Amino acid sequence: MHSFQHMLHHHDPIFTGFAILVLATGALLTMRLFARVRRTAGSVRLLWLFLTGFVGGGTVWSTHFLAMIAYRAPVPVTYEVTMTVLSLAVAVAGVSTGFLIAAITQRSIFVEAGGFLIGLSIAAMHYLGMAAMEMPATIEWSTGYVVASVVAACFFGAITTNRVARPVTRFCKYGGVLAFILAVALLHFTGMTAAAVVPEAGGVASQSDVTNTILGASILFAILVVLSISLAAYWIDHKNGQENTSRVQQLALHDPLTGLANRLRAVEFLRELIQGDLDDTARVAVISIGIDRFKDINDVHGTGVGDRILKTLAERLSRAAQRQEFVARFGGDEFVAVRHPVFLERQAIAFCERLKAVIEEPIDIEGISVTLECSVGYAQFPDAGNDPEDLLQRAGIAMYQSKRSGGNRITAYTDEFDEENRIRSSLAIDLKKAVQEGQLELYYQLQNDARTRVVVGAEALLRWNHPEKGRISPGLFIPIAEETGLICEIGDWVLRQACKEATQWAMPYTVAVNVASRQLTDAGFPAKVEAVLEESGLDPARLEIEITESGIIADVAFVLNIVKELKSLGVRIAMDDYGTGYSSLSTLQNFPFDKIKIDREFVRELPDNKQSAAIIQATTILGNSLDIPVLAEGVETEQQLQFLAETGCSAVQGFFFGKPMPQGDFCKMAEDDRKSRFADILGGAERKTKAVRTAV
Ligand code: C2E
Ligand code: MG
Ligand code: MG
C-alpha cells in the first residue's frame, strides 16, 4: 500500500529521530566544509573538497541506513555487502563532484548544476541501498513516488549550492544546510512511500549477509570517523590561523606617514578574514582608491603639502570606517579599504561611495584650498577570487580602469580588465622601444577656413607603426604613455618632428601639436619649445599648441603661467576637445586662448540633433564675445560644413577635407595648393589687366 502515513507507521520513532539528528549535524558540517572549499586555493582546496564529499556522502549514507534500521519491515531484512559499500562510494563520489563543480564555477549556472548532481547522487545512493536489501519478500514500486523522490532530491540539491553561492542575507548559509537536509529527508521518506514490501509465502531469511546489528555498528563507526576527521581538520585550521596571527604581529605593519595599515597588514588582514570565522555565504568587498592627478599636486605645491594632504585623507578615512571595515594605504596616493560581510552588490557600491565622498570634501592646508577627486575600483571575494593578493590586485585594476575612463568614478572588477591589462602592459613595454626605434610617425590633417574652404593649417597626429601589431591608434597608446610617464619623451619627439616637417611645406600653414597635461606641468616646457623653434627655424606664429581642459584643471595658476610664457614666445594656444570636459566658463575667461576646438562629438549629429546644434551655437557666441575664433572638429558632410559656416565657426577640420596623411603626401598637397593659388593670383592679375584694357 503506497501512502505516506502508512510508511511513517512502519518507522520506529526513536531510530528515526536519531537518523534526523545525524542528518542535521552532518549537513551543518558538510556546508561548513564547503565554505572552506570556496575560501581556499591550490592543493589545500582539494583536501577540503575531499573532506566535504566524504562527510556529505557519509551523512547521506548513514542517514539512509539508520532510517532503514528504524524501518519495521514485515519480514526479517539483511543487506548484501557489495551493494551496501557501493552505495556509500556512489554517495561520496557524487557529492564530492557536485560540490567541486559548484565551487569551481562560483557564480554561473553550473553552481546549480553541481547541486543538481548532489541531489542525483543522493537518489542513486538510496535506491542502491534499497537494492542491497535481502528478504523473503518482494518490493512493489510506485513509479509516481519514485519520480517525485528523485525530483525533490535534485531540486533541493540545486537549492543547497544556490543559497551558498548567491546569498541575499547572512542567513542564506542556513538555507543551504536546510536544503541539504530536505534533499536527503524528502528523498528517503518519499522513496520509502514508493516501496511496498510484500512478504513471499514460505520465504526464508538469508543467513550470510549483514544484519541490523552489524549494520548499526558500522554506521556508528562511520559517524565516529566522519566526526573525528572534521574535528581534526578544524583544529589544524584553527591552529594555523593562530600561528599566522602571532607571526604577523611581529612584522612592521603600518605606513609611517599616515599610521594606517600598510600593504603587508592588508594582505594578512584579508587572509585572516577569508580563512577565519567568516560568515559562510558572505562576500568581502575590497576597494582601491586612487587620488586623481595627485602627482600634479606634488609637482606644483611640493611634497610637503602632498604629505599633509595624504595625512588628512588618512584621518578622514579612518574616521569614516565603521565596525567591520578596514583601511590601509598602499604608498603613493593609493588607499585600500575592506568591508565584510557584504551580501549585495549595492552594499559594496554604497561603501565605495561613502569613502569617495569623504575624500572629495575640500581640504585647507597652509592657505591652499584643494578639492580632490578620486577613482575607485572594487573586487569582491569570492566572485573575483579567493586569494588576498589577487583580490587586492584586481581591486587595483578596477581602480585604474576608473582612472582611464576619465577618473572620478567607481568601477567593479571583471575578468575582461585583467585581459585588457595584460595587453596594455605588453604595449607599454613595446612603446618604450617604439620611440628609440623610430616606429612613431606624424600624420597631418587639414584645417580649412569654414567659408572660403582654403587650407589654413594642419594638426599633427601621432601614429605608431608597431612591427607586429600594425598601426595602433593614438586613442589606445596615448593613455598608456600618460600612465607610464613616457608621454614626456614622446611629446618632445612630436614637437621637434612637427616643427621640422612644417618648415618643409611649400605653404606657411600653421601646425597644431597636441600637448598632454604631464608636459604642461613641467616648468621647463616653455624653454623646450623655444629651443625647438630655434633649432627648426619655424616661425613661432605658425606653431599652435593644443591643450585640453583636463590638463589645466589640476593646477590652474601654474598652467596659466606656463601658457603665458608660451604666448610670450609668439606661440598660439588652442583649447582642444571643448565640450567634453568641465567646459567651465572661467577657464575660457582666464586663459588667453587663441582658438576653441569644438569636439567632434557635437558635430557628429549635426544638423539634426537640436542639443548638439545648441551647444555649437552657444560656443560660437561665447567665442565671438571673448574674441576667440572657433574651429569645429570631425566635419564629414557638406551639410555639417554649411551649418557650421552659417553658425559662425571660423574654421573646420575633418574627413570632409581629407583623412590625416603622412608628411610625403602632405608636402605634395601643399605644393599643389601653392601652385593653384599662384595661378589664381596670376589669373586674377591677368583678368585685371584685361579689364583695364577694355576700360581704356
Ligand atoms: P584630437 O586632438 O581631438 O584629434 C582629432 C582626432 O579626430 C584624430 O584622431 C582625427 O583622426 C580624428 N578625426 C579628424 N577628423 C575626423 C572626422 O571627420 N571624423 C571622425 N570620426 N574623426 C575625425 P586620432 O588621430 O586617432 O587622435 C586621437 C587623439 O589622440 C587626439 O584627439 C589627441 O587627443 C591624441 N593625440 C594624437 N596625437 C597626439 C600627440 O602627438 N600627442 C598627444 N599628447 N596626443 C595626441
Ligand atoms: Mg587635437
Ligand atoms: Mg580634439
Query: Ligand 2 centroid vs 520 CA: distance in angstroms?
Result: 15
654 lines ligand 1 (CB under 6 A): yes
Residue with cell 595625512: 311
Task: Note the pLDDT of residue 203.
Answer: 59
Whether residue 2 is predicted with pLDDT greater than 80 in this model: the reply is no
The mean-pLDDT minimum among 468-472, 553-557, 667-671 falls in 553-557
Over residues 138-164, the mean pLDDT reads: 93
Q: Is 460 helix (H, G, I), strand (E, B) or coil?
A: strand
655 lines ligand 1 (CB under 6 A): yes
Catalytic residue selected from 633, 646, 671, 686:
633
Q: Which long-range contacts (CB under 8 A, 24 or more apart) does 621-630 make?
A: 621/648, 622/585, 622/588, 623/596, 624/648, 626/588, 626/589, 628/588, 628/593, 628/594, 628/595, 628/596, 629/594, 629/595, 629/596, 630/595, 630/596, 630/597, 630/598
Whether residue 1 is predicted with pLDDT greater than 50 in this model: the reply is yes
Task: Note the pLDDT of residue 206.
Answer: 60
Task: Note the pLDDT of residue 241.
Answer: 65
How does residue 435 score in pLDDT terms, banded at 50, 70 and 90?
confident
Max avg pLDDT among 167-181, 407-421, 502-516, 608-622: 502-516
Return d(Cα 557, Cα 82) in angstroms, integer.
87
Whether residue 295 is predicted with pLDDT greater than 70 in this model: the reply is yes
Whether residue 73 is predicted with pLDDT greater than 90 in this model: the reply is no
Task: Note the pLDDT of residue 166.
Answer: 84
Task: Note the pLDDT of residue 663.
Answer: 97
Whether residue 304 is predicted with pLDDT greater than 90 in this model: the reply is no
* pLDDT, tens digit (0-9, with 9 covering 90-100), for 231-249: 777 777 777 766 666 555 5
Query: Ligand 3 centroid vs 693 CA: distance in angstroms?
Result: 51
For the CA of 598, the nearest ligand: 3
Q: Looking at per-residue confidence, does 268 or 682 come out higher?
A: 268
Q: Write the DSSP symbol of residue 200.
A: P
Is 633 a residue of the active site?
Answer: yes
CA distances from 638 to 247, 446, 454 (A): 73, 16, 15
Please give the order of strands across the beta sheet that includes 334-342. Answer: 325-329, 334-342, 283-291, 374-381, 410-412
Name the percent of the chain lying above pLDDT 70: 93
How does residue 298 score in pLDDT terms, banded at 50, 70 and 90?
confident
Q: In 166-281, where does DSSP find H-type helix? A: 172-194, 212-249, 263-275
514 lines ligand 1 (CB under 6 A): yes
The mean-pLDDT minimum among 53-62, 175-184, 550-559, 654-663 falls in 550-559
Query: Ligand 2 centroid vs 365 CA: distance in angstroms?
Result: 36
Whether residue 7 is predicted with pLDDT greater than 80 in this model: the reply is no
Task: Note the pLDDT of residue 600.
Answer: 93
* pLDDT, tens digit (0-9, with 9 covering 90-100), for 626-645: 899 999 999 999 999 999 99
**Nearest residue by C-alpha to atom 27 in ligand 1:** 474
Task: Note the pLDDT of residue 348.
Answer: 94
The mean-pLDDT minimum among 271-285, 522-536, 558-572, 611-625 falls in 271-285
CA distances from 358 to 8, 265, 312, 355 (A): 63, 23, 11, 5
Name the percent of the chain in helix, strand, coil, to the closest 5. 60, 15, 25
Query: Ligand 2 centroid vs 530 CA: distance in angstroms?
Result: 21
Non-local CB neighbours of 290 within 8 Å, separated by 6+ positions: 333, 334, 374, 375, 376, 399, 400, 402, 403
Over residues 656-662, the mean pLDDT reads: 95
State the CATH architecture for 252-414.
Answer: 2-Layer Sandwich (3.30)
Task: Note the pLDDT of residue 582.
Answer: 65
594 lines ligand 1 (CB under 6 A): no
Return d(Cα 398, Cα 389) in angstroms, integer.
14
How does residue 581 score in pLDDT terms, banded at 50, 70 and 90?
low
Which atom of ligand 1 lies closest to the CA of 516? 44
How does residue 425 score in pLDDT terms, banded at 50, 70 and 90?
confident
**Nearest residue by C-alpha to atom 7 in ligand 1:** 634
The kind and range of the H/E element at 568 are: helix 556-568
How does residue 692 score in pLDDT terms, banded at 50, 70 and 90?
very low
Return d(Cα 600, Cα 616) in angstroms, integer.
11
660 lines ligand 1 (CB under 6 A): yes
Over residues 611-628, the mean pLDDT reads: 89
The DSSP code sequence of 163-196 is: HHHS-SSTTHHHHHHHHHHHHHHHHHHHHHHHEE
Task: Note the pLDDT of residue 696.
Answer: 45
Give the residue extent of every domain in the chain. 2-198+209-234, 252-414, 423-666
Whether residue 694 is predicted with pLDDT greater than 70 in this model: the reply is no
Whether residue 669 is predicted with pLDDT greater than 50 in this model: the reply is yes
237 lines ligand 1 (CB under 6 A): no
Whether residue 549 is predicted with pLDDT greater than 70 in this model: the reply is yes
For the segment(s) 423-666, the CATH number from 3.30.70.141, 1.10.238.10, 3.20.20.450, 1.20.1070.10 is 3.20.20.450
Over residues 149-155, the mean pLDDT reads: 96
Which atom of ligand 1 lies closest to the CA of 653? 15
Supply the pTM of this predicted model: 0.54
641 lines ligand 1 (CB under 6 A): no
Q: Which long-range contacts (CB under 8 A, 24 or more apart) does 400-407 make?
A: 400/290, 400/375, 400/483, 401/377, 402/290, 402/375, 402/376, 402/377, 403/290, 403/292, 403/375, 403/483, 404/479, 404/483, 406/550, 407/292, 407/293, 407/373, 407/374, 407/375
pLDDT averaged over every residue in the chain:
88
Whether residue 351 is predicted with pLDDT greater than 80 in this model: the reply is yes
Over residues 73-82, the mean pLDDT reads: 85
For the CA of 472, the nearest ligand: 1
* N-term to C-term CA, the chain: 131
Task: Note the pLDDT of residue 664.
Answer: 97
How does residue 80 score in pLDDT terms, banded at 50, 70 and 90?
confident
**Nearest residue by C-alpha to atom 42 in ligand 1:** 514
* Substitution site in 543, 604, 633 for ligand 1 pocket (most atoms within 8 Å of beta carbon): 633
Task: Note the pLDDT of residue 695.
Answer: 46
Task: Note the pLDDT of residue 250.
Answer: 46
For residue 124, count other CB atoms closer than 10 A to its CB.
Answer: 19
The mean-pLDDT minimum among 494-503, 560-569, 611-620, 630-639 falls in 611-620
* pLDDT, tens digit (0-9, with 9 covering 90-100), for 215-225: 778 877 877 88
CB 170 within 8 A of CB 282: yes
For residue 690, count other CB atoms closer than 10 A to its CB.
Answer: 10
* pLDDT, tens digit (0-9, with 9 covering 90-100), for 87-135: 999 999 999 999 999 988 767 889 999 999 999 999 999 999 999 988 8
Over residues 55-80, the mean pLDDT reads: 88
Return d(Cα 391, Cα 369) in angstroms, integer.
35
Query: Ligand 1 centroid vs 531 CA: distance in angstroms?
Result: 26
Whether residue 66 is predicted with pLDDT greater than 60 in this model: the reply is yes
